[in-house]
Amino acid sequence: MVVATAVAVARVITGYLDHLTVERGLATNTISSYRRDLRRYAGFLEAGGVRGFGEVGESDVAAFLVALRSGDDEHPPLSASSAARAVVAVRGLHRFALLDGLVGDDVAAEVRPPTPARRLPKAITVDQVEALLDAAGAGDGPRPLRDRALLEVLYGTGARISEAVGLAVDDLDAGSGVVRLAGKGGKHRVVPVGSYAVRAVQDYLVRARPALVTGRAVRGALFLNSRGGPLSRQSAWAILRTAAERAGLADLADLSPHTLRHSFATHLLDGGADVRVVQELLGHASVTTTQVYTLVTVDRLREVYATSHPRALR
């Protein structure tokens, strides 16, 4: 084993970045981020009197994390997510040094990256959803019928945008009121679809889709673009943005097709649905992922309590 105290920190960093570039094939932007974070780490160690890589202790790595979050004269404090990225780079560096025989133990293994604050999903109100749907279906020709059907499916099933645009005509069983969605990892799930969405899809299939079909093969795709091909995710985004502008909702922050999925889950929980049922409908592998929506409904409960209970005022 190489005597680690004799190996300069900069030399280990160079070897690690070469490893990431050549053997791991990481993207150029990722390598640039790692290089920037590790240069700051090397400067921090040097300022603390550490010269050889083997002199680095767990306390040095932990102190670096503190420095990232608190900032200094040259660097502003980093957010939890940015600091976590830097710590991940440092942990990778130390693990590389261990596997390469430069050190006898991994002093960064127990220093955990900070957990970013959980960002609550943004849901819109039922009235806003209805305004959005009405705006999507306004106008003449096949496109409004298609656009209304697409947004009805997104809100009525909680489907991801990729799941919705990937639907085939046969995936929706109007008689049974269910739709078969192809989720992440090739996993399929069957979820109920409401009468509003079923009716919108049927109107689209009868009155609009035939006008969009061209001579090119569409392989049974449900939602088609103006050239007869399957609708893309980018086109679905454009449909939502146009509907939002027409509905006067363009000022809503972070409005996206995923907003309808968030709203689907939040409105179900507001209506009394069990969180595990919502988990199944959304196709979440873990109920922990779904439970973030319960935080949204708790906020709503607080509002109702504060405005309704005679002893809530302080």
Neighbour-count burial for 11-46, b at 16+ CB within 10 Å, e otherwise: ebbebbbebbbeeeebeeeebebbbebbebbbebbe
The tokens 């609708």 sit on which residue? 231
Q: How far, CA to CA in Å, does 165 sit from each of 121, 183, 237?
A: 22, 12, 11
Instruction: Provide the CA 221 distance to its chain's centre, in angstroms.
Output: 25
Please indicate whether residue 122 is annotated as part of the active site.
no
Which residue, 100, 1, 9, 121, is CA-closest to 54?
9
Instruction: Tell me the CA end-to-end span of the chain in Å, nearest whole number.
Output: 68
Query: One of 184, 187, 188, 276 is an active-site residue; which one?
Result: 184
pLDDT at 171 over 70: yes
Based on the residue annotation, tell me whether 258 is a catalytic residue of this protein. Answer: yes
Q: What percent of the chain has pLDDT over 90?
A: 52
The b/e string for 145-176 (b: 16+ C-beta within 10 A; e otherwise) is bbbbbbbbbbbbbbbbbebbbbbeeebbeeee
Q: What is the structure's pLDDT at 313? A: 54
Structure token digits, residue 306:
């504060």
- Separation CA 197–CA 231 (nearest Å): 18
Calculate the alpha carbon distances from 276 to 39, 90, 145, 267 in Å.
46, 38, 33, 15
19 catalytically annotated: no
Q: When comparing pLDDT for 163 and 285, which is higher?
A: 163
User: What confidence tens digit (pLDDT) does each residue in 33-78 have?
Assistant: 999 999 999 999 999 999 889 999 999 999 999 999 998 888 899 8
Q: Helix (H, G, I), strand (E, B), or coil: what is residue 302?
A: helix
> Which tokens belong to 238?
């454009």
Q: Can 309 be counted among the known catalytic residues?
A: no
Full strand arrangement of the beta sheet holding 172-173: 172-173, 178-182, 188-192
Residue 75 has which token pair? 């660097």
Is-contact 197 226, C-beta < 8 A?
no
CA distance 103 to 99: 8
The pTM score is: 0.59
With a CB cutoff of 8 Å and minimum separation 6, the contacts of 174 are 198, 201, 202
pLDDT tier for residue 180 given thresholds of 50, 70 and 90: very high
Average pLDDT (184-190) is 81
Helix axes 58-70, 80-99, angle to 10 degrees: 160
> Which candidate in 146, 160, 262, 267 is catalytic?
160
Nearest 5°: phi and psi at 287? -70, -20
Q: Is the pLDDT of residue 117 over 70?
A: no
Least confident of 117-126, 129-138, 257-266, 274-283: 117-126
Confidence of residue 239 (pLDDT cuts 50, 70, 90): very high
pLDDT band at 253 (very low <50, low <70, confident <90, very high): low
The single residue of 146, 261, 262, 267 carrying the catalytic annotation is 261
Specify the pLDDT at position 234.
Answer: 92
Instruction: Give the three-state DSSP class for 177.
Output: coil
Mind listing the domains of the chain with CATH numbers?
A: 4-99 (1.10.150), 126-308 (1.10.443.10)
pLDDT, residue 3, reads: 44
Is 77:67 a contact under the CB 8 Å cutoff? no
162 has pLDDT over 60:
yes
For residue 219, is pLDDT > 70?
A: no
When the pLDDT of each residue in the chain is averaged and rounded to a whole number, the result is 86
